[in-house]
Structure 1
Amino acid sequence: MKSLEPPSCNMPAPALVFIGRNGHGQWVAQEQNGLYGGLFVSRAEAMKYALFENGHHPETIVELSRTIELDTDGRLAPVGLLFSRGRRPVA
């Protein structure tokens, strides 16, 4: 009989989504590779969007204490730079 791996073993891990405030005080949600993101009036709306876009994986959402600007060109800073200071997992 052929053994099968559980579906979770075959699926890629969801990407990280960073949320935080930009220099104007607006909330930003941005996928680590710049595939999706947006500006929001509240943290709750940024979280709602991030959860919807990442398939409801709260463990992959990271709230930053430093400012983050929405990257519309797909050039989000490397993950190492974002984690150097002030990161706080949300989950």
Structure 2
Amino acid sequence: MKLVEPPSCSSLSTVVFIGRNRRGQWVAQEQNGLYGGLFVSRAQAVKYALFENGQHPETIVELPREIELDMGKRPDIIVSQRAA
């Protein structure tokens, strides 16, 4: 059986949200929860987002509201593969 890797993070359709959580930490998280992290500065959150999304600043969205890191999300592709 051949293992299939998830889609590349460099896809232009990959949106990364950045913003602050309720404790004031900076959060960066891919829209489907594929990757994310907590950061002490906005600059570090943006640097991480750019690294993960293949250097596409146009796909980074800074949110004006609070955002909490949720690493419990299951990307649709994984759920659909398990259902098959």
TM-score grouping bracket, smaller chain normalisation: 0.7 to 0.9
Secondary structure of 1:71's match? coil
> Is 1:41–2:44 an aligned residue pair?
no
> TM-score, normalization: structure 2?
0.73
Contact conserved, 1:14 with 1:54, CA < 8 A, in 2?
A: no
Contact conserved, 2:27 with 2:68, CA < 8 A, in 1?
A: yes
Q: Which residue of 1 aligns with 2:6?
A: none
Secondary structure of 1:52's match? helix
Q: Which residue of 1 aligns with 2:12?
A: 13
Asked which structure has the greater CA Rg, the reply is 1
Determine the C-alpha separation between the residues in 1 that align with 2:28 and 2:73. 13
Identical positions, percent:
75
Determine the C-alpha separation between the residues in 1 that align with 2:11 and 2:43. 27
Contact conserved, 1:29 with 1:47, CA < 8 A, in 2?
A: yes
| 4+ residue runs over 3 A deviation | none
Count of matched residue positions in the alignment of Structure 1 and Structure 2? 66
TM alignment of 1:1-91, pairs within 5 A: 12-74=11-73
Superposed CA RMSD? 1.9
Determine the C-alpha separation between the residues in 2 that align with 1:42 and 1:68. 15
